[in-house]
């Protein structure tokens, strides 16, 4: 199982856990004390010392949290954790166990491409969606809004420097309307952050570009794309 697969598995189970009605059965002598709690596939239990034990992805995380409401710790193995405490502890343990995998998931670039990008553009900014960019020239004024018409110049390259497309003549710019599904998602995101006159280098991960299908014959499957984009003009809708 890869880190990404592991991450989705843990995340899916966690979301199921917090979405279901996981209220404990105060009359039960076991923990988890209800079928819905058990269905989450990872549990929060009390050991004989009154400590909270969380089983996450095959590992044990021990928290010294007292959830026994003042009862004898020696008897706490039969005391169900209150729902609010259970949810808090489950959330905390999930973050501890899954944070490395979540970081891996947020990184959208293939590992080999990531190495090249970090070496070539070490100071690049990164959006929450995984698009990286370098501001090469500052712009002024407002940013484009959905429906606005924009005129841009650009050069599109593969990560190895191969140019696959371009529009570089100021009197023949590329024109399109923002958020009208006329360009790839990576472009939409980058353009909406730019101001008139701004020039950016954008590094777009495969899923924000042409994904697994590519754009044959010039762009292969799962290709990371590099664009130099200059925003010439914004025409409000």
Alpha carbon distance 67, 122 (integer Å): 47
Q: At what angle do helices 83-106 and 3-19 cross, to 10 degrees?
A: 150
In this predicted structure, what is the pLDDT of residue 88?
58
Which residues lie closer than 8 Å to 75 by C-beta, 6 or more apart?
A: 68
Domains in the chain: boundaries: 3-106, 111-235
Supply the pTM of this predicted model: 0.58
Per residue of the chain (237 residues), what is the pLDDT tens digit?
A: 444 444 445 555 655 555 545 566 667 666 666 665 555 444 444 444 444 444 444 343 334 444 444 444 444 443 444 455 555 566 655 555 555 544 444 678 999 999 999 999 999 999 988 999 999 999 999 999 999 999 999 999 999 999 999 999 999 999 999 999 999 999 999 999 999 999 999 999 999 999 999 999 999 999 999 999 999 999 998
Determine the CATH number of domain 111-235: 3.10.50.40
Q: CA-CA distance, 132 to 194, in Å (whole number)? A: 13
Task: Judge contact between 113 and 145, C-beta under 8 A.
Answer: no
Percent helix, strand, coil in the chain, to 5, is 30, 25, 45
**Which pLDDT does position 64 carry in this prediction?**
42
In this prediction, residue 207 carries a pLDDT of: 94
Phi and psi at residue 222, to the nearest 5°: 55, 45
């Amino acid at each position: 199982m890869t880190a990404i697969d592991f991450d989705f598995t843990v995340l899916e189970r966690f979301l199921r856990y917090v979405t279901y009605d996981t209220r404990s059965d105060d009359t039960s002598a076991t923990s988890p004390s209800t079928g819905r709690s058990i269905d989450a596939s990872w549990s929060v239990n009390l050991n004989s010392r009154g400590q909270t034990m969380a089983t996450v992805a095959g590992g044990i995380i021990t928290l010294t949290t007292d959830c026994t409401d003042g009862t004898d710790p020696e008897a706490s193995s039969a005391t169900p954790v209150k729902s609010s405490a259970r949810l808090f502890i489950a959330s905390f343990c999930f973050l501890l166990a899954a944070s490395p995998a979540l970081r891996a998931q947020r990184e959208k670039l293939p590992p080999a491409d990531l190495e090249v990008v970090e070496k070539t553009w070490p100071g690049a900014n990164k959006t929450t969606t995984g698009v990286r960019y370098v501001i090469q020239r500052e712009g002024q004024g407002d940013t484009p809004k959905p429906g606005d018409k924009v005129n841009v110049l650009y050069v599109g390259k593969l990560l190895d420097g191969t140019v696959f497309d371009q529009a570089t003549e100021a009197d023949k710019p590329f024109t399109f309307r923002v958020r009208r599904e006329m360009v790839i998602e990576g472009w939409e995101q980058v353009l909406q952050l730019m101001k008139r006159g701004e020039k950016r280098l954008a590094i777009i991960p495969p899923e924000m570009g042409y994904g697994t299908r590519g754009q044959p014959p010039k762009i292969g499957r799962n290709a990371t794309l590099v664009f130099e984009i200059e925003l010439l003009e914004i025409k409000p809708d």
